Amino acid sequence: MSFWQHASAVVDDGAQLGDGTKVWHFSHVCAGARVGDGCSLGQGVYVGNDVTIGRNVKIQNNVSVYDAVTLEDDVFCGPSMVFTNVYNPRSAVPRKSEYRRTLVKRGATLGANCTVVCGATIGEYAFVGAGAVVKGDVKPYALMVGVPARQIGWMSRHGEKLDLPVDGHGRATCPAGGDLYELDGQTLTLVKTQDPAP
């Protein structure tokens, strides 16, 4: 495998990084990490041992991807966003055996300075706004904002807000990609695509 790392970055022996992946200034990838092809790990990124990262994942500056986090293909992690892995940490109480797993599914965006409390699953192509605090599972395509995060709408695969209510029935076309989506209650489904997934 052919990846690139800046001279100031540390990639521990045993770490697996895919073709075309770049590890930028002052970042650290631990020995057990698995990182796919074409990823970008920005300045000051930390990737723990028990971490799996898919293809074409972009992790912006100052993000720590701690143990028990999985990022699927095409995930975007904005600058200084936060993952956790212990729900009720205490410095004097060891809780490494109590890590809660976090899964971020394909195409999801985690905005700058948002926080994902451990144990959550972020659905495909969900969009978490800057500064939001996610405390539970997020539906595919959901647009989440606020503290605690609440859903205010739906986003397309291209990252465009769809003209649909949070709850109800209807259809909407992505203004950028032309994909057609259908809302049935609280579930959004991609029903017709105009092009391959971005």
* CA pair distance 9, 30, nearest whole angstrom: 11
pTM, full prediction: 0.96
pLDDT at 80: 98
Q: What is the pLDDT of residues 111-149, one digit of tens each?
A: 999 999 999 999 999 999 999 999 999 999 999 999 999
* pLDDT reading at 195 higher than 90: no
pLDDT at 1: 61
* CA pair distance 168, 26, nearest whole angstrom: 47
pLDDT at 194: 80
Q: Which amino acid belongs to residue 190?
A: L
pLDDT at 197: 64
Contact 1, 19 (CB under 8 A): yes
**pLDDT band at residue 196 using 50, 70 and 90 as cut-offs:** low
- The percent of residues above 90 in pLDDT, for the chain, comes to 96
CB neighbour list of residue 185: distance below 8 Å, 6 or more residues apart: 167, 168, 169
| 96 φψ region: left (φ > 0), alpha (ψ -120 to 50), beta (else) | alpha
DSSP strands (E only) in 146-186: 150-154, 168-173, 180-185
Q: What is the pLDDT of residues 146-187, one digit of tens each?
A: 999 999 999 999 999 999 999 999 999 999 989 999 999 999
In this predicted model, which residue has the larger pLDDT, 34 or 197? Answer: 34
pLDDT at 198: 65
C-alpha separations of 31 from 21, 164, 193 in Å = 16, 45, 40
Which pair of tokens denotes residue 144? 């989440």
Q: Please state, rounded to an integer, the average pLDDT across all residues of the chain.
A: 96
Q: Are strands 46-47 and 64-65 parallel, antiparallel or unpaired?
A: parallel
DSSP code of residue 195:
S
C-alpha separations of 41 from 6, 79, 87, 114, 178 in Å = 11, 11, 26, 18, 31
Q: What is the pLDDT of residues 70-113, one digit of tens each?
A: 999 999 999 999 999 999 999 999 999 999 999 999 999 999 99
pLDDT at 46: 98
